[in-house]
Amino acid sequence: MAITQIRPPLTDTRKYLKTETVNDLCHCSSVTKLNCHLTMSVHCILALLILVLTLDDQVYSGKITGGHEAVPHSRPYMVLLERNMSDGKKKYCGGFLLNEDFVMTAAHCQAKSYIVVLGLHSVHSSKETQRISVEEAFPHEQFNPISFVNDVMLLKLTTKAKFNENVKPIPLASRDNGTLPKSCILSGWGRTDKNNNYMSPTLMEISVTLIDDKKCAIENFYCSQGDTGPAEGDSGGPLVCEDGKAFGVVSSAVTPHSGGPDIYRYSKIPDSRNWIFSER
């Protein structure tokens, strides 16, 4: 199928309340300084109060299109990956726990440094979570940032993850037997609506049906198509199918030349198994 656009990053930057309103209310211009400060101080205090009260709700509360909130901690392998970028910004990806030492994510989620958050359901309640820094990142050496072939990466944790009811690894699919996996689930904290850039405050999940390989642009991807699917911030999360194994890694999306629903692509884990185990 011809493609006119590849939309690589299903990564996301969490949006915060803008402070331009506060700056505008606190700025004196043509009126006299005394009257300005007396009048503006009231507005300034009110604006700052609104800002403080809103900071605890920095994540847009919505639902991923066609999805629903996951049962809390029903996906104990899920990872929220905090990415500290070289420009000082913080961005987010998904990921999943392979064992006590390694997390898997997408290669296009590379950053200057990382924090792995385990055992998370709601971003507003993180008491039982484990926050672990990353010792070293291992993006696939043949990752192509244009086609997104081999869009997989391993992250070695600085300290071992502690397994419990909320933190458990997920097994990997062993091989691709030529038939498409059935009953696939995606989960993540990514963008909840195509019209905004806010992440979900709780873990969301959605069922997807994989399409025939001939409709998939590159052979080492699984693909799904439709108006529902992964969104920004979901990159690196697992495509979990059938018996609860990870079959793919959320990678990118493409827009068909003829229009129509987007095609979502997932790097095939069976194709990367030799590389995965050589790095571990």
Catalytic residues: 108, 151, 235
Rounded CA separation 51/211 (Å): 46
Q: Which of 154, 158, 157, 72 is nearest to 120 (CA)?
A: 72
Cα dist from 8 to 109, 148, 242, 250, whole Å: 10, 7, 27, 11
- Alpha carbons within 13 angstroms on the beta-carbon side of residue 151 total 30
The answer to whether residues 63 and 69 touch, using CB atoms and an 8 Å cutoff, is yes
Please work out, in degrees rounded to the nearest 5, the angle formed at the alpha carbon of residue 100 by the alpha carbons of 265 and 202: 55
The two three-digit tokens of residue 232, written as one number: 């920004």
Q: Which two tokens stand for residue 256?
A: 């068909």
DSSP-derived 3-state class of residue 274: helix
CB 248 within 8 A of CB 239: yes
DSSP-derived 3-state class of residue 275 = helix
Distance CA(142)–CA(131), nearest Å, equals 30
The label of the residue with tokens 């229009």 reads 259
Neighbours of 159 (CB within 10 A): 11
DSSP 34: H
Cα angle for residues 270, 11, 209 (degrees, 5° grid):
45
